[in-house]
Structure 1
Amino acid sequence: MTSQDLIAYWTEKGSQKCQNIDADFSLTKQEYINQNHYSNIDLVKCVKSNRQTVSSYHAQKKVSSRIDTQMENQFVEACAYWKNVLRCIVETIAFLAECGLPFCGSDDTVGSKRNGNYLGILEPITKFDSFLAQHINEHPNHGKGHTSYLSKTICDEFIALLAKKMLSAIEIKDVRYFSVSVDSTPDVSHVDRLTVILHYVLPSGPVERFMTFINTTSHTGEKRTLYLLDFLTKNGIDISLCCAQSYENASNMSGKYAGMQAKIKKCNALVDYIPCTAHSLNFVGQSIVDCSVEGEGVGFVQELYNFFL
């Protein structure tokens, strides 16, 4: 008889015929009950032990019952002190940024008349704030290695942190479409910075939002496109949602083949290019001046300025 015949035979007989009804499973059943009982007892003991451990941990966390009570109190006081210092610093930086005022002067010495708006605002406040007055009097002009949070280095770090926080709070990700404007100009340190501005519409009305300055080392349309796309990608802004772009009329920006507007169109063919009206009007004025004899002097002064710049 094959295995297939056995399967067919017991299938015909049914499940009741396959059971060993004469077997005694009482001992096995009792063993299972005992094991389950002992397991429950062990579980209860484990829970009680854990409760005792947690209670002991919370008791040890109480500062009053520890040998390092004084050290812990000093630590808490120091944290509260420096938090208050940072609160004053951040409020000052946020005020200067909101008003568009420069931060640093020619030096960062407390008491100097050329230390800029950052320290220049903190110093008068000390006349009315005893806490800030004590801090500035105890930590002035110690240089590197001494924590005071008054240096230009910490000021730059907080500016970067606030800028990152502001970028994450801008509502550009909540709108469907936007347009972009890009332009660049060298600052007083002769570093060329690319300005990125986004335009979009909220239920309350149209919004024009400055996003960032990007340090650039190349003026080609391809490089500037990479700068812009890299910034948008890092901040989670999809270039496929861009519906318009507006730049100046320079060839590296408005060029039909190698300009920035052409490179952006390769990423999104639906992005319309709109020449900058102000820049176009400036070209008209420059052309008018070039057509007159009196305007030659103006052109010479402009060329001289560009040479020394």
Structure 2
Amino acid sequence: MGFLESTENDLSLHIEEHVEEQEHIEVEEAEEQEPVKELVDIYDPRRWEKLNFEEIKLLVQKGPKIDNSIMYGPYDKFGRRFYVALYTRTLPNLENCDREWLVYSKELDKVFFVSVVKCLEKGFQKFNTSNSRKKRDYWKQVLLRIIAVVKFLVKHNLAFRGSNEKVYQNGNEIFLGVVEMLEEFDLVIKEHVWRIISDGLHVHYLGHLIQNELISLLAQEIKKELIKKIKEAKYYSIILDCTPDSSHQEQMTIMVRYLTLSYNSVTIEESFLGFLNVDDTSGKGLFDITLEELKSLGLEIDDICGQGYNNGANMKGKHQGVQKRFLDINPRAFYTHCGCHSLNLTLCNMANNCVKGNNFFANSTKR
């Protein structure tokens, strides 16, 4: 009996040891089978494109790591390379400033600029997209109304500005006056004016710079349409005239006459293409600037069928005048004296023979 009890005790002890050993083996196997989470180096620029939002936040909080052990990088094909001194900038007052936002990748041989805004952009992309769309739509609606005001004033040849460029103040004249009127009826302008007055909005697109820019852009588009119509008509005539402006800068106007063909009618159009600053008023100087302008507009010189200028020697001269120089290139560019200028010369001659008329025009700067 004692032997059996001893045997049973030994067997029980052996079974317990075997179970414990088996459990220990199973635990080790389970530990071996458990997947090991891969550690991502958030400081490695090669992995920045694949970082999730939490990793980006951690990178922004801790900041990039600069490896000062890399003294020099390899040379590129242009003979340039990275060196550790680029991490520091010497200011004009000889103070050294660390460029903490600069990171060099030895593996890629590239220098990276670390921007907090750029890092957070990925995480807030959805929010930024929605917010940007609202801002874009808002400014689009504001600009459409401002352009409409500019077109109205330009069409009716009205002055834009006065002595003041602030809404609801005296002397701001027609442009801001129309904006104030629209503010009473239009919700978009009402909100825009309210933001300007209450928040002190600096970028409001109501100043003289945006007015001039819009006028210039509109003029460019109108000129493109005019040139398109002239090219469709093919043949055209040019009219030139010079006059000084208030600063005594000589300016030459260039106008074009052409035919507009429709289904059942033919219309003669006369379009103004712009002012040209003139420094040389000789026949050659005026011809050169006109030729250059026509080429820049894409108009062929061989398609000119007529010229109309005043009776000045530099314009109508049969040897060195503008009309002669055009005829040398295009013999079909027939020259005609300007009837308005001939009438003006007649009136001036009449006024000179009239004492009262002579006294009336005596104070004119250009007689």
Q: TM-score, normalised by structure 1?
A: 0.69
The whole-number CA distance in structure 2 between the counterparts of 1:286 and 1:306 is 11
Partner of 1:136: 193
Displacement of 1:259 in angstroms is 2.5
Report the secondary structure of 2:276's partner residue: strand
Match of 1:218 in 2: 280
Tell whether 2:305 aligns with 1:243: yes
* Alpha carbons of structure 1 residues 173 and 141: separation in structure 2 relative to 1, 3 Å: farther
1:92 aligns to what? 149
- Distance change >3 Å, CA 206–CA 222, structure 1 → 2: same
* Structure 1 pair 113–224 and aligned structure 2 pair: CA distance change class (3 A): farther
Q: Say whether 1:122 aligns with 2:179.
A: yes
Instruction: Evaluate the alpha carbon distance shift between residue 229 and residue 107 of structure 1 in structure 2; reply closer, same or farther with a 3 A threshold.
Output: farther
Change (3 A) 1:259 1:136: farther
Cα distance between partner residues in 1 of 2:366 and 2:199: 42
Q: Superposition pairs for residues 41-60 of structure 1, below 5 Å?
A: none
Q: 1:179 to 1:124 in 2, by over 3 A?
A: same
In the TM superposition, what whole-angstrom CA distance separates every residue of 1:247-293 from its partner, at most 9, and x where no partner exists?
12222222223322223223322211111111101111211222344
Contact 1:109 1:141 in 2 (8 A): no
Tell me the equivalent position of 1:168. Answer: 224
Per-residue CA deviations over 1:148-181 (Å, capped at 9, x if unaligned) read: 1111111111111111111222211111211111
- Root-mean-square deviation (CA, aligned residues, Å) is 2.7
Among 79, 95, 102, the residue aligned to 2:159? 102
Equivalents in 1 of 2:352, 2:188: separation in Å?
62
1:43-80, CA deviations, whole angstroms, 9 ceiling, x for partnerless residues? xxxxxxxxxxxxxxxxxxxxxx9743222211111111
Q: After superposition, what is the alpha-carbon deviation per residue over 1:192-223, rounded to whole angstroms, capped at 9, x for unaligned?
A: 33221111112231111122222333323322
| Aligned residue type for 2:194 | N
Q: Which runs of no fewer than 5 residues in structure 2 stay unpaired?
A: 1-121
How many angstroms apart in 1 are the aligned matches of 2:287 and 2:181?
Answer: 46
CA distance in 1, matches of 2:158, 2:326: 34
Counterparts of 1:161-240 in structure 2, within 5 Å, are 161-170=217-226, 171-203=229-261, 204=265, 205-240=267-302
Q: What do the CA deviations read for 1:83-106 (whole angstroms, capped 9, x no partner)?
A: 111111111112222223233334
**Alignment partner of 2:337: what SS?**
coil
Going by fraction, where is helix more abundant, 1 or 2? Answer: 1
Q: Is the CA contact (8 Å cut-off) linking 1:104 and 1:117 kept in structure 2?
A: yes
| Cross-structure match for 1:146 | 202
Q: Residue 50 of structure 2 aligns with which residue?
A: none
Judging changes above 3 Å, is the alpha-carbon distance between structure 1 residues 215 and 120 closer, same or farther for their aligned structure 2 residues?
A: farther
How far 1:140 moved relative to its partner?
5.8
Q: 1:107 to 1:188 in 2, by over 3 A?
A: farther
In structure 2, the CA distance between the partners of 1:141 and 1:108, relative to structure 1 (3 Å rule), is: farther
Q: 1:250 to 1:112 in 2, by over 3 A?
A: farther
Distance 1:248 1:92, change over 3 A: same
Within 5 Å, give how 1:285-296 maps onto structure 2: 285-296=347-358
Structure 1 gaps, min length 5: 1-64
CA distance in 1 between counterparts of 2:171 and 2:325 reads 45
> Matched residues in 1 for 2:166 and 2:145: separation?
18
Alignment map for 1:265-304 (pairs within 5 Å): 265-302=327-364
% identical equivalent positions: 30
Larger RCO (CA within 8 A; separation ≥ 6): 1
In 2, Cα distance between the equivalents of 1:236 and 1:281? 34
Alignment-derived partner of residue 263 in structure 1: 325
8 Å Cα contact 2:311/2:341 also seen in 1: yes
Q: What secondary structure, in the 3-state scheme, does the structure 2 residue paired with 1:156 have? A: helix
Preserved CA contact (<8 Å) 1:253 1:260: yes
Whichever residue aligns with residue 344 of structure 2, its letter is: N
Question: What TM-score do you get using the length of structure 2 for normalisation?
Answer: 0.59
Check conservation: 1:181, 1:198, Cα contact below 8 A: yes
**Alpha-carbon distance in 2 for matches of 1:140, 1:217:** 47
Structure 1 letter corresponding to 2:259: V
CA distance in 1: counterparts of 2:161 and 2:198, whole angstroms: 15
* Structure-2 separation of matches of 1:251 and 1:94: 40
